[in-house]
Amino acid sequence: MAQDLFVTIKSHYNTFTRAEKHIADYVLSSAKNVLYMSITELANACDVGDTSVFRFCRHMGKSGYQDFKVDLAQAVSEAHNAPVLSNCIVDCSDSADVMIQKVLNNNIAVLKETYQLIEPATLATTTRWLTAAGRICFFGVGASSASAMEANNRFLRVCSKTECILDARIQMMRASLMRKDDVAILFSYSSATKETVAIAQAAKDAGAHTICISRFARSPLAEICDLLYLCGGNEGPLQSGNLSVKTSQLLLMEVLYIAYCQANPEECERSRQLTTSFLERDKLS
């Protein structure tokens, strides 16, 4: 699952300096032009120094400007061959038809970006941890609590060791009582929510494995957690807490769920039969 340069820029955006954000904005809006620009020309276009451009390239993990442009050329080529999605940011002046199309385009783009951000090695490690865990706890505060609860409901069909608590203070208490080899999975779009960061630290101090599902690669929460899953999706002014972000989080959770079922087929099938049988019996009562 190759991660293209545009996805990398967006996932690291919150860690850029002001100058680097100017460069990132220009690259994202005028990528084709940048392919034919020297480092000095790009610096002048962004009203920054050559050194800022070089630092931006190094921030992206590239050895220099030419290495950056090689990856940029590949990203531009892939974007050209991909289905064209119009602007996804909803505006107050949009008609109903335009608004609906933008919402659809946004969800498609978010899912594709989330897919590109999944690291197979991270998934393999997570599956091992979930299999060996005595307890799997899902945490989320505010809007992210809905994703945590949905993830818990999904796993509860095939696994008896999951738990999700909605109250933030009780989440903190639960996290502090986790044990070695337990797994804490934390949902947070910003990865900077004070309560979520504190919960992650409590779980880590208790010896549990910590995994966060977030938008940004570098953040207070990501620094604490052992593993990071990045979700796609940028929130526009009219889309704060929008469902496409939750869709990306749930895509990641479905991947973890399927991976767990593949690694534990007998246990999951037995649990699925028991839960399904109870639910069917409850319908008839």
Per-residue confidence band for 74, with pLDDT thresholds at 50, 70 and 90: confident
Amino acid at 66: Q
Residues 6+ apart with CB under 8 A from 168: 141, 195, 199
* Burial class of residue 44 in the structure, from the number of CB atoms within 10 Å of its CB (0-12 exposed, 13-18 middle, 19+ buried): middle
DSSP secondary structure of 69-100: HHHHHHHHHHHHHSPP-------TT--HHHHH
DSSP structural state of residue 221: H
Say which CATH superfamily domain 119-280 falls into: Glucose-6-phosphate isomerase like protein; domain 1 (3.40.50.10490)
**pLDDT digits 0-9 by tens, 90-115:** 678 878 888 888 788 878 888 888 88
What is the distance between the alpha carbons of residues 178 and 5, in angstroms, rounded to a whole number? 38
In angstroms, rounded to a whole number, what is the distance separating the alpha carbons of residues 31 and 18? 19
Q: Predicted confidence band at 77 (pLDDT cuts at 50, 70, 90)?
A: confident
pLDDT for 280 equals 78
Q: Taking CA 177 as the corner, what is the angle to CA 173 and CA 180, rounded to the nearest 5 degrees?
A: 145
Task: Among 3.40.50.2300, 1.10.357.10, 3.30.2010.30, 1.10.10.10, name the CATH number for the domain at 1-82.
Answer: 1.10.10.10
Residue limits of CATH 3.40.50.10490 in the chain: 119-280
pLDDT digits (tens, 9 = 90+) for 181-236: 999 999 998 888 899 999 999 999 999 999 999 888 778 899 999 999 988 765 54
Name the H helices within 15-162. 18-29, 31-34, 39-46, 50-59, 65-81, 96-117, 120-132, 144-156
Q: CB 178: neighbour CB atoms within 10 A?
A: 24
Range(s) of the chain covered by CATH 1.10.10.10: 1-82
Residue 22's Cβ-side half-sphere holds a number of Cα atoms within 13 Å equal to 14
Quote the percentage of the chain above a pLDDT of 70. 90
Q: Are 151 and 138 in contact (CB under 8 A)?
A: yes
pLDDT band at 81 (very low <50, low <70, confident <90, very high): low
Amino acid, res. 190: S
pTM for this structure? 0.73
User: DSSP assignment, residue 165?
Assistant: -
Residues 133 and 162: their CA atoms lie apart, in Å, by 10
